[in-house]
Amino acid sequence: MTSSFNITRDRLKLAAVAIAVASTAILLTIYGSTTVFASHSFEAGVSGDNIPDNTHIRLDGLTLPPAGVLPVYDASPNFISGHFLLRAPCDPETHVPYVTVIAGHIDESEHGTYVDKVPLYYIAHASTAGSCVFHAHIPDPLNGGAARVTDIVLINLSGQNVTFNAGDVVDVNVQRVLGSISDAPYDEMKLPGSLEHGNPVFDLNDDNPNNDGLGFVHEMEEEDE
């Protein structure tokens, strides 16, 4: 009786091992045999230059405490280009959002981390009382910010709680991959804690042409030329 039980148990063990081996073989067939480590330097990134990706996050009712962080997008090790849209509470006079949008590369090692504030364009005709709508180019080589973006984050540097209104949202549309951060790492360090509250905000619709940011040409200026 005991001998039969031991034989049955051994057969079950062999069956379990066989299933595990078969499952591993199937996974390797489907996903390939690439090994992923914690350090981005070992990651190959995508093949080609496209990531058909859109990330849409509703912020309704969410409260970020002082120094609170909301990771929005992470494409590591790929640094990408695309568009960023934010609807969030803002200062009614300056239109600066109460949360700060930062982007760059956040590494496991602080020495490999570089982030900066994202230049934002205020869209008055899409904004409502209490919440402003912003658009940004990722990256924005003309107006500043991090040149190689793998990560996008909302951080509360205002010193007080920030509660999002109904309808507030953040949306990231990635259009293409520009490269791998392992091939083009930052040679200097800039941590989120070294930044102060407030993104640079441009406005193409106000009466101040000096607040349009670089890369925009007025139609009247083109006609005069």
For residue 123, what pLDDT is reported? Answer: 96
Name the residue with higher pLDDT: 217 or 188.
188
How many helices (H) and strands (E) in the chain?
A: 2, 12
pLDDT per position as a tens digit, 205-216 = 888 888 888 876
Please report the sign of the dihedral spanned by the C-alpha atoms of residue 4, residue 5, residue 9, residue 15. Answer: positive
What is the rounded average pLDDT of the residues 110-131? 96
What residues are paired with 138 via a beta bridge?
82
Which of 21-25, 121-125, 203-207, 214-218 has the least mean pLDDT?
A: 21-25
For residue 224, what pLDDT is reported? Answer: 52
For residue 23, what pLDDT is reported? Answer: 39
Distance in angstroms between the alpha carbons of the first and the last residue of the chain: 100
Boundaries of every domain in the chain: 49-204
- Asked if residue 77 has a cis previous peptide bond (ω within 30° of 0), the answer is yes
Specify the fold of 49-204.
Answer: Jelly Rolls (2.60.120)
What is the rounded average pLDDT of the residues 154-164? 97
What residues are paired with 122 via a beta bridge?
134
Kindly indicate the confidence band of residue 42, based on its pLDDT and cuts at 50, 70 and 90.
very low
Please report the sign of the dihedral spanned by the C-alpha atoms of residue 69, residue 75, residue 78, residue 80. Answer: negative
Tell me the pLDDT of the chain averaged across its residues. Answer: 81
Tell me: pLDDT of 15 over 90. Answer: no
Distance separating alpha carbons of residues 111 and 107, to the nearest angstrom: 8
